Amino acid sequence: MAAQERIGFDRELRLEWLDAAAAQAAKSTETEVARRWLDGYLTDSLGGKGTSGHRGKTITVLRSIWLAPPDNCVHLRDRALTLLHDAQPGERLAAHWGLVLAVYPFFGDVTDTVGRLLALQGDVQRIAVVRRMYEGWGERPAVSRATRAAWYSLIWWGVLAPSERRGRYRAQPKRVSISRPLVEFLIEAAIVWSQSRPLVLSSIPSLPCLFPFDMSDAAVTARKSHHVRVSREGIDLEVVRTK
């Protein structure tokens, strides 16, 4: 992503906050009603009053994900609400992950970097992720703060755990098993994150930005999907695009 892109994702988020924002979105997306409700809900967890406080900034991020996503992500938000309704407890993270990935490219870049480093060396340090993010987004305090927010969100969500080496983190030993509708949702979310560039079909099971999830059904799911399509480029390359 280009350095001039909006960072946006600059608050640590807990899963229960995302669940609460999604539950509110299922009832009403009216902006002021949602803001007041979230402000009350987060009072015990976060200090700060109004839009200038930490709580207000967290509400802004939650609203941008579940209550007022960008126009190109509204259909994903609506599908995610349905998926959450049907999801098993262990699958809920996938619905949140896909929507955050699509709404906030910066978050996608962080998770892509984390996934790549984990694949290369088995564990990862936050400072290494920050350095990689500087390369794409510029060396500025906002990038460091936002990377920290994404990093600690991953820890809150349970996808990163301390490794045997001090200061380093590893992925959970087993990827999260998810339903085919959620696999399909994550594929489309990853395409949106990549600015609608097609994904190589064979690469999806090991896509770094989706590292916590078992995507082994990606090929079968994509071929049967109503939301993405598989096409051939060249002699033997198959790619996936949104419909």
CA atoms within 13 A on the CB side of 8: 22
Residue 234 pLDDT: 79
Residue pair 243/228 in contact (Cβ under 8 Å)? The answer is yes
Question: Does the structure show a pLDDT above 50 at 43?
Answer: yes
When the pLDDT of each residue in the chain is averaged and rounded to a whole number, the result is: 92
Residue pair 124/168 in contact (Cβ under 8 Å)? The answer is yes
Name the percent of the chain lying above pLDDT 90.
78
> What's the per-residue H, E or C state across 189-204?
HHHHHCCCCCEEHHHH
Tell me the mean pLDDT in the region 175-199.
95
SS3 231: strand
SS3 125: coil
Give 2's pLDDT tier (boundaries 50, 70, 90): very low
Residue 5 pLDDT: 67
Domain chopping of the chain, boundaries? 1-176, 180-242
Of 121, 108, 123, 228, residue with least CA distance to 168:
123
Residue pair 19/92 in contact (Cβ under 8 Å)? The answer is yes
User: What is the distance of C-alpha 97 from the center of its chain?
Assistant: 3
N-to-C CA span, the chain: 23
Give 170's pLDDT tier (boundaries 50, 70, 90): very high
The letter for the amino acid at 64 is: S
Q: pLDDT tens, 103-113?
A: 999 999 999 99
Alpha helices in 91-225 (DSSP H): 92-103, 105-121, 126-137, 141-156, 180-193, 218-224
Residue 69 pLDDT: 96
Of the ranges 28-37, 129-138, 194-203, which one carries the lowest mean pLDDT score?
28-37
Structure-model confidence comparison of residues 181 and 45, the more confident one: 181
- Residue 20, token pair as written in the block: 């609460």
Residue pair 204/215 in contact (Cβ under 8 Å)? The answer is yes
Of 219, 152, 130, 131, residue with least CA distance to 15:
152
Q: Report which secondary-structure segment, H or E, holds 59.
A: helix 54-62
